[in-house]
Amino acid sequence: MEEQGVIQTQTASWRDYYQLCKPRVVYLIVFTAIVGMFLSTTGFVPLTALVFGTLGIGLGAASGAAINHLVDEKIDILMGRTRNRPLPTGRLERKSAFAFALSLCVLSMTILVVFVNTLTAVLTFASLVGYAIIYSVFLKHATPQNIVIGGAAGAMPPVLGWTAVTGYLDPHALLLFLIIFAWTPPHFWALAIHRRAEYAKADVPMLPVTHGVEFTRIQILLYTIIMFVVTLLPFVTGMSGLLYLAGAVVLGGGFLYYAIRLFISHDDAIPMMTFKYSIYYLAALFSVLLIDHYIVF
């Protein structure tokens, strides 16, 4: 079993459970949710909503990540990027991982229902199911448009943050959803180009595998243009001011720069450069949104 990356002699530690939560992904999810909270009000976010909303949303995201580990265990064994995760290496048993994921889900729903509001709990659970079940189990293996359709679940955090404070859906919250929804394909397809051989080996129909790298480069460029336009909508609708507009143009220009380089160049380093920039881009864009909200020009 060693050639498959499975080592049964290792024992689980807290680090394995921590890794099961995909902490880097959860941090970004929680951050965008917090920004959604602050954008939903002209004053300071109520402490109860901030603390328990953040905790409940974060635990829900961690539960979804843990379930994704369970679903993708056989695929993870075949891919260099994921073969050292707790389940493929045998450091963590499936029943322990499932119990951990279930506990996180129950705790998340309890916190959100009791201390926040039912709408946020329902939307958080729907996002968890959308990512961990609909995307991971079905869409990921059914269509090369998996990340486009499944991206809806990953775009929900700022909406969850917004409803945690207000208790209702708002058109401006849906703009934040739209930004992440448009950002997801160019973000993930850049990684998919870099890892296309591994996805092909695992028989996952990612766009570079099914339609080729050149077609994927075009799609990344087109989606980046769409994303750039979408990021201007908060200013157009009066949700944000000139500071955000300047930040969106500069940051979006950087993303377009990488997308164009990826389109015209065959340098194998550019896909990962684009992927890494996309992560910093989203964090920076939401940071500018937050700063702009409290600064009037």
Q: Where are the domains of the chain?
A: 1-169, 170-297
Predicted pLDDT at 10: 57
Model confidence at 9, in pLDDT bands (50, 70, 90)?
A: very low
For range 290-297, the mean pLDDT: 83
**Closest of 84, 163, 157 to residue 116, by C-alpha:** 163
Interatomic CA distance for residues 133 and 145, integer angstroms: 16
CATH number corresponding to 1-169: 1.10.357.140
- Residue 211 burial (CB < 10 Å; 0-12/13-18/19+)? middle
Which is nearest to 60 in space by CA: 122, 151, 149? 122
Buried b (16+ CB within 10 A) or exposed e, 181-201: bbbbbbbbbbbbbbbbebbee
Confidence of residue 178 (pLDDT cuts 50, 70, 90): very high
Length of the chain, in residues: 297
Q: What is the pLDDT of residues 148-162, one digit of tens each?
A: 888 899 999 999 999
Tell me the per-residue pLDDT of 190-212, one tens digit each, with 9 for 90 and over. 999 999 999 998 899 999 999 99
pLDDT of residue 296: 61
Confidence band (pLDDT; 50, 70, 90) for 80? confident
Query: Is pLDDT above 70 for 52?
Result: yes
Q: How far is the CA of 222 from the CAs of 233, 263, 291, in angstroms? A: 18, 10, 29
Torsion of CA 286, 288, 291, 292, to 10 degrees: -110
Q: pLDDT per residue over 260-293, tens digit each?
A: 999 999 899 999 999 999 999 999 999 999 999 9
What are the Cα distances from residue 271, in Å, to 89, 128, 220, 238? 28, 28, 10, 35
Q: What is the DSSP string of 129-154?
A: HIIIIIIIIIIHHH-TTHHHHHHHHH
